[in-house]
Amino acid sequence: MEKKNYKFWFATGSQDLYGDECLANVAAHAKQIVAELNASGRLPYEVVWKPTLIDNATIRKTFADANNDPEVAGVITWMHTFSPAKSWILGLSEYRKPLLHLHTQFNQEIPYDTIDMDFMNENQSAHGDREYGHIVTRMGIERKVIMGHWADEKVQNRIASWMRTAIGIMESSHIRVVRVADNMRNVAVTEGDKVEAQIKFGWEVDAYPVNEIVEYVDAVSKGDMEALTDEYYDKYDILLEGRDATEFRNHVAVQAKIELGFEKFLKEKNYQAIVTHFGDLGGLQQLPGLAIQRLMEKGYGFGAEGDWKTAAMVRLMKIMTEGKKDAKGTSFMEDYTYNLVPGKEGILQAHMLEVCPTISDGPIGIKVCPLSMGDREDPARLVFTAKEGEGIATSLVDLGDRFRLIINEVDVKKTEKPMPKLPVATAFWTPRPSLQTGAESWIYAGGAHHTAFTYDLTTEQMADWAAAMGIEVVYIDANTTIRGLRNELRWNEVAFRK
């Protein structure tokens, strides 16, 4: 993952009605806000102060400059005084990047003893931000509104969260997914309209014959393969479980070769996400397991059985969480088996092999075990259990006439007992508001068995991303009721009718 040097512009709206002294104060206040936001250490990207905007021409030019500067990921707007919003129409109509309306005020408290009309005129965002908000709404422009005092920790954390959404919006169109096999035969939910995905999200989804990537795997030198295998042996616990040590290492080395070959292919051809399919492996000796887990850990998106939508979503979430302090991980995941014991309900999450080690809690082991599917040799895989904590499971589905993003808030827990015979990485979670309502809602909404899961983003962040992409979003959280959700789905049928 390479973090781009994105910045956010801070554009303050005003007007010249109250004289130069007022405008000088407006600029000084905005500069102080920007300096303190940057000094807070809470924002993942830098905020850059821009000269106060007071008329059509400067507003239009500022937004055009923001469009044209590849380092600008968004503009934060705030009306310190009153700024007649007709002046904003042209600039806003031409602006194409994420927009935050920070509805704040320089002073936190009304200065009761000294307040006069000059102070009121200078500090009237309660008034000016409504005028501005009106025109943004009237023009139907998607934006985020955050209200509160700019020095408040909660407000700063919300700005920080929105910045990550903005990065997701900006970077979505740079996601390129390589399909090294087609979707699994007869499966519906992993399918979708790739042209529409490119129109909506900017994703490029390309197919290659499996053996074209296999050539890259075959070209990996023995030395490189052995060196990476040594690294695995240093880093992970080797769980032979009765297998011959030499034969075990040979199986692990096959995955090292796949990791190196796949990564070279991805880098050379500029892809950041990949799908595989256990039934279409060409000249590969094993289903890529450990290799894919390592690539996901490095920031690549992945979807199994040709699931390119989930692969792109995993990549998107990796970008959005990049560099997050104390990040707990993001992975491709699959709903497998329930625990239905009252009071202990949850869903055991895993996949055949491909779970990202970023979500692991504690040591990671390597196992070599047979796969019940496919016709290749026993693949090596990383095994571990996931961290406890809150997370979100997301599923992007194609309903035929539109995409829908389903977001379920989940609580990841430890299973009651270890599962010594299960040779895959796992997580165990209870969907909110409960397994029963969560699973019923998921099924009514048409959610898939594959998900893009993360501990490090919120429902709000993903919902804002979906809104910016112009797609439907359905969330399932502590407040979800079946009656409410089914009504929402009915209303969305109308709201998203073409």
Which range binds Mn ion by CB under 5 A, 224-232, 297-305, 309-317, 402-410?
A: 297-305
Enter the tokens of residue 481: 């009721």
Angle in degrees, CA 368, 369, 374, rounded to 5: 120
Is residue 325 classed exposed, middle or buried when 0-12, 13-18 and 19+ CB atoms within 10 A define those classes? exposed
Least Cα distance to 308 among 319, 298, 316 occurs for: 316
Q: Which residue lies nearest Mn ion, judged by its C-beta?
A: 304
Nearer to Mn ion, 334 or 398 (CB): 334
Instruction: Give whichever of 92 and 355 is closer to Mn ion, judged by the CB atom.
Output: 355
CA 315 to chain centre: 7
Q: How far apart are CA 296 and CA 450, in angstroms?
A: 15
**365: β partners:** 237, 383
Based on CB atoms, which residue is closest to Mn ion, 44 or 303? 303
Contact between 34 and Mn ion by CB under 5 A: the answer reads no
Q: List the x/- string, 318-347, binding to Mn ion by CB under 5 A.
A: ----------------x-------------
Q: Which is nearer to Mn ion, 256 or 350 (CB)?
A: 350
The count of chain residues that interact with Mn ion, using the rule CB under 5 A, is 3
Residue 376 C-beta: closest distance to Mn ion, Å: 17
* Closest alpha carbon to 319 in 177, 214, 202, 167: 167
Please, which residue, 303 or 357, has the CB nearer to Mn ion? 303
- Smallest separation, CB 306 to Mn ion (Å): 10
Q: Which is nearer to Mn ion, 187 or 463 (CB)?
A: 187
Minimum distance between the CB of residue 312 and Mn ion, rounded to whole angstroms?
Answer: 16
Which residue in the block uniquely carries the two structure tokens 């709000």? 460
Q: Which is nearer to Mn ion, 122 or 280 (CB)?
A: 280
Rounded Cα–Cα distance for residues 104 and 180 (Å): 50
Q: In what order do the strands lie in the sheet with 380-383?
A: 237-238, 365-368, 380-383
Shortest separation between residue 291's beta carbon and Mn ion, angstroms = 17
The one among 304, 317, 320, 364 contacting Mn ion by CB under 5 A: 304
Which range in 76-84, 108-116, 305-313, 354-362 contacts Mn ion by CB under 5 A? 305-313
- 282 Rama sector, left if φ>0, alpha if ψ -120 to 50, beta otherwise: left
User: Which residues of this chain interact with Mn ion, rule CB under 5 A?
Assistant: 304-305, 334
